[in-house]
Amino acid sequence: MRPDGLKCMDQRIPMTKMKTLRETVLEEITPKDFLEERSYNLSQETNLDYKFSSHPLRNFLNMAYIINITIGTPPQEFSVIIDTSSSDLWVSFIYCQAPSCSKYLRYNPKTSSSFQSDEGKHIKLTYGSGSITGVLATDTVRIGGLIAKSQTFVLSMNKLSGALEQAPYDGIMGLAYPSLAILGTTPIFDNLNKNGIISEPVFAFFISSWPHKSSLLMLGGVDHAYHKGALKWVPVTEAGLWQITVDRISMNRKVIACSGGCQAILDIGSSYLFGPTDIVRSILRSINPSPLQNEQRLISCHRTIALPPVIFTINGMDYPLTRKYYIQKVSEDICFITFNGGTENLSPPETWVLGDIFLRAYFTVFDRGNNRIGLAPSV
């Protein structure tokens, strides 16, 4: 999210930068910009029928999660980053001239019999790591066996600059609410739901903590084998946002943030935990009174063994994050605390972003039909 507030219609969320390892852990990572349909009942025993599908996600350095889709007839395959804080789909255009475009797949409308032009309408999408410009087009998009006909998307004439320019992806697929989409277009999730391609207006993420187990995007239903216990439902507090209320954030039975309640946004496109800079600095000093290299987020790994969990209390339930999640290894001896500042200019002032660190610990269901989020410990 932009630190200066909510984004305009055609602006999109900043993506975490990926430079050298040292640059990655030392730079100020900017949190992303964030921002109903038919109501239905999602039971704990959702049937896994033909309209439910589960899709593997490729983990890129714990910074981005990538899925394969196809566009056109016959299908042209692309790898796109999943983003829950934007709603548009874009892929690189065959006429993209950026040097990075030559490395990856580009959509060629001349080879697709189902391609439809959108009169060359020019679009600009802005992310934290740069912007793309392109034109609107319409074609058939497939996610596994799910087919979204007449799906409008953007053909990018360039690639995002910065760290993402080097990432192995051909575009971005947004799964946020329609209010974030380009005016007059329908996001792919809404296209699938409106046309009955998926059974329920719900998607879910299992973000794996284990090398041998793939991360998954579930569309149209929930596979309950990927979480422990019942899902606990939390209402979305801001229409159009995957935003919820947090009661408090505590450690060692002491409230360290959000003492009077605060807002938080769950976002797969953010790698870490983001909050107001002053509060984060205070938390870092508490966790790490003797920082390495004068960087408060760098800590000797041996000192992390005794660190207690950070507990997010949400809707009356405690959701602890143990050091396994909020501490990451940089080397054998150096570890990194995954709290970052930058949200202080949002409204309300104390807003948190719970990124992939939180989503690895908790299986998360995004329920568009009932405007709520479901949480349960991941297996």
Give me the active site residues, please: 83, 267
Residue pair 106/172 in contact by the 8 Å Cβ criterion: no
CA 101 to CA 99: how far, in whole Å? 5
Nearest to 7 by CA among 235, 346, 376: 346
Nearest to 230 by CA among 40, 74, 363, 89: 363
Which residues are registered as beta bridge partners of 378? Answer: 227
CA 225 to CA 214: how far, in whole Å? 14
- DSSP SS3 for 277: helix
- DSSP SS3 for 194: helix
CA 295 to CA 293: how far, in whole Å? 5
Is the backbone of residue 254 left (phi > 0), alpha (psi -120 to 50) or beta? beta
Q: Which residue in this structure is represented by tokens 């912007």?
A: 131
CA 361 to CA 353: how far, in whole Å? 15
Which residues are registered as beta bridge partners of 134? Answer: 123, 156
DSSP per residue, 163-203: GGGGSS-SEEEE-S-GGGSPTT---HHHHHHHTTSSSSSEE
CA 155 to CA 105: how far, in whole Å? 12
CA 83 to CA 65: how far, in whole Å? 8
CA 286 to CA 284: how far, in whole Å? 5
